[in-house]
Amino acid sequence: MRAFTQHQGLVAPMDRSNVDTDMIIPKQFLKSIKRTGFGPNLFDELRYLDEGKPDQDSSQRPLNPDFVLNQPRYEGASVLLARSNFGCGSSREHAPWALDDYGFRVIIAPSFADIFYNNCFKNGLLPIVLEEKVVDQLFQETEETEGYQLAIDLEAQTVTTPSGESFSFDVDSFRRHCLLNGLDDIGVTLEDAELIKSYEEQRRQTAPWLFNAGQ
């Protein structure tokens, strides 16, 4: 996995709460058996005026001029500023894949849905929870200042504004460790293979019904 240590980038504001995974990447694009190529269909129904189809050249489609990511000032944004309960809905990892493929590295919101939050870490994408009033402030500053950038430091656990104001954020230490070092967590788990085997053996004895194959 790609490591994440520090990042500075242009901020795009997604001013709506409960952004669900169907909105982030609509289901017709989940038919792909690959992990990449979802970027052009990120927020597809909001971003384009027509109905998107898989395997279509999206560069020819009519854009919705009202959608925030279509505004020239947010072109090249890599930090997404969002509202509460971002990523609610399904478990589809295609949602972080699409955000990543589009070019986002960080998402900042007052809260995230659990599964989405977890999926981000598996893909080198950093979800940051900041207090509602801080997020409000960042929204205001982003909208007021063209070219507004934020600097994120995972090691220090801080988000810093252009004026030098800094906000700290929490992240649990295992996830932080994996992300900082770009670790493959399957490899980390397999270091405990013996422990898993002995747990399994003991369960075979005490709860044999868990090991039934169908009849």
In the complex, the residues that contact another protein under the rule CB under 8 A are 16-18, 20, 22-23, 26-28, 30-35, 45, 51, 54-55, 83-85, 88-93, 96, 111, 113-115, 118-119, 122-123, 172-175, 177, 184-186, 188-190, 192-193, 195-196, 199-200, 203, 207-215
Handedness of CA 12, 17, 21, 25 (dihedral sign): negative
Pair of tokens at residue 57: 């050249």
Query: Which residue lies nearer to another protein by CB, 94 or 105?
Result: 94
29 and 38 Cβ atoms separated by less than 8 Å? yes
Question: What whole-number distance in Å separates Cα of residue 140 and Cα of residue 38?
Answer: 30
For the bound state, the minimum distance from the C-beta of residue 24 to another protein, rounded and expressed in Å, comes to 11
Closer to another protein at the Cβ: 136 or 146? 136
* Strands, sheet with 106-109, edge to edge from the N-terminal-most edge strand: 126-129, 106-109, 79-82, 6-14, 149-153, 158-160, 166-168
Smallest separation, CB 33 to another protein (Å): 4
Residue 137: half-sphere exposure toward Cβ, Cα within 13 Å: 14
Instruction: Please name the residue that has the structure tokens 């493959």.
Output: 184
What is the H or E stretch that residue 14 is in? Answer: strand 6-14
Q: Whole-number minimum distance, CB 149 to another protein, in Å?
A: 25
Which residues neighbour 139 within 8 Å (Cβ) at sequence distance 6 or greater?
13, 15, 81
Residue number, 33 or 65, with CB nearest to another protein: 33
- Cβ 144 to another protein, closest distance in Å? 18
Q: Which is nearer to another protein, 115 or 151 (CB)?
A: 115
CB closer to another protein out of 71 and 189: 189
Nearer to another protein, 105 or 175 (CB): 175
Is 97 strand, coil or helix?
helix
Least CB distance to another protein at residue 5 (A) = 18
* CA distance from start to end of the chain: 40
Q: How far is the CB of 151 from another protein (least distance, A)?
A: 26
